[in-house]
Amino acid sequence: MNYFELFDFPQSFELDTAELSSRYRELQRAVHPDKFAGGSEQEIMLAVQKTAQVNDGFQTLKDPLRRAEHILALRGLDISHETTTVKDTGFLMQQMEWREALEDIAHSSQPDAMIDELHTSFAAYQRDVFSSLSALLASHAEDDDIKAADQIRKLKFMAKLQDELARAEDALFE
């Protein structure tokens, strides 16, 4: 299913999320199963399926990572269930530094400063990767799609690091 078509958006990484929310509400009103309560069992089942598609489409398009994966899947490059790792040695070295910093938080005399520094570092890196991803997806070139897939892998890793940082932060306040 092409969620861009479902929501009547051009297939693009850049998306107006306010307009997406508006179209989501319109589609929900149009296909909600309650609207077909007096209809046949088949009509109700179809409305339930369509509602699920609208919900899935909205969740996919509103999340930049899932949106990027969806674009690549529509182009024939499905990475949603893969286990390929990032091969960028610079990124791998950076991830090792971040992991060490995460481990050091619990033993630091200034854990708040370390947490703030990691938040800042993660955000700056993610901004750069998202910017690169946007440009790669806009090019529509097959080799750029492969590079975009690598950027998505990096962002997925960054999301895991963000979760670990949040857990480390929570552990300090418990």
Q: Domain check: are 95 and 168 in the same one?
A: yes
Q: Domain check: are 94 and 168 in the same one?
A: yes
More confidently predicted of 80 and 162: 162
78 located within any domain: no
DSSP string covering 34-83, please?
GGGTTS-HHHHHHHHHHHHHHHHHHHHHHSHHHHHHHHHHHTT---TT--
Residue 149's domain spans which residues?
89-173
39 located within any domain: yes
pLDDT value of residue 33: 79
- Residue 135 phi, psi dihedral angles, 5° rounding: -65, -40
Q: Using one digit for the tens of pLDDT, what is the confidence trace for 120-152?
A: 999 999 999 999 999 999 998 999 999 999 999
70 located within any domain: no
Q: Domain check: are 94 and 145 in the same one?
A: yes
The SS3 of residue 29 is helix
Of all helices (H) and strands (E), which one includes residue 16?
none
**How far is Cα 168 from Cα 105, in angstroms, rounded to an integer?**
7
Q: Using one digit for the tens of pLDDT, what is the confidence trace for 99-109?
A: 999 999 989 99
Which CATH number do you get for residue 10? 1.10.287.110
pLDDT value of residue 136: 98
Q: Domain check: are 54 and 103 in the same one?
A: no
The total domain count for the chain is: 2
pLDDT value of residue 127: 96
pTM value is 0.87
Q: Using one digit for the tens of pLDDT, what is the confidence trace for 45-100?
A: 898 899 999 999 999 999 999 999 999 999 999 998 777 778 899 999 999 999 99
